[in-house]
Amino acid sequence: MDATATAARPKPTASATLPAGDPKIVAKDVNVYYAEKHALKNVSLDIPERAVMAFIGPSGCGKSTFLRCINRMNDTIASCRVVGSIKIDDQDIYDPSLDVVQLRARVGMVFQKPNPFPKSIYENIAYGPRIHGLARSKAELDEIVEQALRKASLWNEVKDRLQDTGTGLSGGQQQRLCIARAIAVSPEVILMDEPCSALDPIATAKIEELIDELRQNFTIVIVTHSMQQAARVSQRTAFFHLGVIVETGPTERIFTSPNDKRTQDYITGRFG
């Protein structure tokens, strides 16, 4: 494909082919700087509600940076500056009057390495609901813990040892514990940053199965380096490269006939 052909074709936007309903998250002209480094350049993207959106791209392309913008995790990095607008349900999350703690309750996050608190399984889940005042009694809290563990497909494995320490679980169980912990505060969006990269194929399959179930109730954004995983779990995919979104569209199309040569080169293993 020559350069003129690329330039002539209108850039596919997520909103053009979104399923019915408004997008949950709308990002417009987002730029992120780490000190002098311009990490994310004019990223605009619609993320649909109750669906899984996958971010793919080579290391350092900005996908994790963008993910971390969605719950303002980048605020914790002193040199980081975010310009542009990100709205969740039409509300600007960079509005100075917005309570960041509340935002992070609405937008949960699961990380690459499972990071349970060094506390009991029960406490790992109960901590969030307790500090956010979601339970009025011990019985209510017990119920929240059980429901969160059930939704994360972990209940049957841990129900008889809720007081054991969370760090004693296997890697895959720990990751599902972290997902249960994220779910427990009833978020609307769950961000996942390579949630399976430290897991074996069986634990990975369980998480993928879980993601598929969770998308009935949550909007999920997942960063993954596994092309196959993106193809399996997501409905829409965005390909990041050098700080820009090169292409976004329905996952099926991205993985069968992408429009942009850079996308094609990356997903087929021709980059470099």
Q: Which residues bind other proteins (CB under 8 A)?
A: 1, 227-228, 231, 255-258, 261, 263-265, 267-272
Order of strands across the sheet that contains 52-56: 107-110, 189-193, 219-223, 52-56, 236-241, 244-250
In the complex, the smallest distance separating the C-beta of residue 263 from other proteins, rounded to whole angstroms, is: 8
Q: Is 167 exposed, middle or buried (0-12, 13-18, 19+ CB in 10 A)?
A: middle
For residues 201 and 269, which CB has a smaller minimum distance to other proteins in the complex?
269
Find the shortest distance in angstroms from Cβ 227 to other proteins. 6
Choose between 76 and 257: whose C-beta lies nearer to other proteins: 257
Closer CB to other proteins, residue 74 or residue 229?
229
> Which one, 79 or 268, has the nearer CB to other proteins?
268
Nearest distance from residue 270's CB to other proteins, in Å? 5
Cβ neighbours for 14, distance < 8 A, ≥ 6 positions apart = 23, 45, 46, 47, 48, 236, 238, 248, 249
Residue 178 beta carbon to other proteins: minimum distance, rounded to whole angstroms: 28
Q: 27 or 52, CB closer to other proteins?
A: 52
With a CB cutoff of 8 Å and minimum separation 6, the contacts of 99 are none
Least distance CB 195 / other proteins (angstroms): 20
Q: For residue 248, what are the β-bridge partners?
A: 238
CA atoms within 13 A on the CB side of 72: 21
- Both tokens of 224, joined, read 């993954």
